[in-house]
Amino acid sequence: MKVTIREVAIKAGVSPITVSRALNSPDLVRPDTRAKIEKAVTELRYRPNPVAQGLRSGKTRVVLLVVKHKRTYDPLLFEFALGVSDTFQQNNYSLLIHLTPDGSVSVDDVTGRADGVILTDIEENDPRIEKLARHVPVAIFGESTLAVSQVDIDDAWGARLATEHLLSLGCQDIVMVAGDGRALYMKHRIRGYIEAFTEAGGNPTIAYGSLDLIGGETAIRSFGRIPEAIFCASDGMAVGVLRNLTSLGIRIPIVGCDGLQLGEMTTPTLTSIKLPFYEAGQKLAEAILDGIQGKEPVNIRIRPDLVIRESTHYWEGRTSRCDSSRNEAASPTLT
């Protein structure tokens, strides 16, 4: 049933080791012997046994991806996983998933099973990092002061991009609708807005709310005025803001954050900061692969892009400062 290197060797009239060489370092084998071996390999449908290779080499060609289960699933996480997966497939690595409610992993989940670990949902001073990094290369999606490979999305930059875009439209009274600043990435977004707006001479104003549509719908009320433009810390919030304002017959430039498909389905469609989760997955996969090969840890911050859609496009090219122009915009619709 299972053909081993031995059968191939016999069929090709050589020794097993020559077969191994023909497969791993073809240059060390004379072309004609190699041809015989390749013939035997295809005829017998020989495939090297990864487990045996693993035992020999001490490598599994597997990486463990640790994911925390969230009740409200984040579609971006799926993009991320795809980026990781694609990169691994290109490198003949496999992806082992460790899915737990709290993201916990033990060293035993890794040693002997995987050559490295990718950690997601990193918290400040995340205890898992040091624990694992003593035994196996670690790469994290997030940030840490420890000497492990880390890839993160530059949220502050994204917020700056959004703010500067609104500034470029001539808006001077730009407010932000944010989530509570417990999560690191939210702190960065808030900081990015504050820095960019302050540099432009603005006086930052922030309302806080939940990251979903409701948060947007309600948070905006707390400003006590209609600002000239709004930067929302999530697309969900932005849709809420959009809806609320539209129901009041108000239309002002709005920028969301995430770059979800959701933003293509609203009326007007939503300008947003597109977070490069797929790319982050790729980079993280490369980072851990490098780490496995003994290279030094890398520290990568990926900058998001601004995707301009209708919610701000309307004002582009105008030189005058924004006005809270009232118009008969259709009810914003999720589609």
Partner DNA sequence: CTGAAAGCGCTAACAT
Partner DNA sequence: ATGTTAGCGCTTTCAG
Q: What backbone phi and psi angles, to 5 degrees, belong to 108?
A: -65, -20
By 3-state DSSP, what share of the chain in percent is helix, strand and coil, each rounded to 5? 45, 15, 40
- Report the SS3 class of residue 248: coil
Q: Which of 187, 186, 173 is nearest to 237 (CA)?
A: 186
Element (H, E) at 42: helix 31-44
| 111 is an interface residue for its own copies by CB under 8 A | yes
Bridge partner list, 150: 140, 299
Nearer to DNA, 20 or 282 (CB): 20
Upstream peptide bond of 268 is cis (omega within 30 degrees of 0): yes
Binding to its own copies (CB under 8 A) within 114-153 occurs at none
Nearer to DNA, 58 or 224 (CB): 58
Choices 46-54, 75-83, 271-279, 287-295 (CB under 7 A): range interacting with DNA: 46-54
| 42 is an interface residue for DNA by CB under 7 A | no
Binding mask 226-265 for its own copies (x = CB under 8 A): -------------x---------------------x---x
Q: Would you list the DSSP string of 165-212?
A: HHHHTT---EEEEE--TTSHHHHHHHHHHHHHHHHTT---EEEE--SS
Choices 54-62, 155-163, 172-180, 320-328 (CB under 8 A): range interacting with its own copies: 54-62
Q: Which residue from 212, 290, 305, 310 is in contact with its own copies, where contact means CB under 8 A?
A: 212
| 49 is an interface residue for DNA by CB under 7 A | yes
Contact between 295 and 205 under an 8 Å Cβ cutoff? The reply is: no
Q: What backbone phi and psi angles, to 5 degrees, belong to 204?
A: -55, 135
| 17 is an interface residue for its own copies by CB under 8 A | no
- Binding partner selected for residue 24 from its own copies, DNA, none, CB under the kind-specific 5 to 8 Å limit: DNA
Counting residues that bind its own copies (by CB under 8 A) gives 43
Nearer to its own copies, 163 or 246 (CB): 246
Q: Which residue from 10, 23, 184, 306 is in contact with DNA, where contact means CB under 7 A?
A: 23
Q: Which residue from 18, 20, 60, 163 is in contact with its own copies, where contact means CB under 8 A?
A: 60
Q: Which two tokens stand for residue 93?
A: 């690595």
- Quote the CA–CA distance of 246 and 217 in Å, as a whole number: 11
Residue 326 CB contacts under 8 Å (≥ 6 apart), including other chains: 249, 250, 251
- Binding partner selected for residue 87 from its own copies, DNA, none, CB under the kind-specific 5 to 8 Å limit: none
What is the binding site for DNA (CB under 7 A)? Answer: 2, 4-6, 13-18, 20-21, 23-24, 28-30, 32-34, 46-49, 52-53, 55-58
What is the binding site for its own copies (CB under 8 A)? Answer: 47-52, 54-55, 60, 62, 65, 69, 71-73, 75, 78, 81-82, 85-86, 89, 94-100, 108, 111-113, 212-214, 217, 239, 261, 265, 333-335
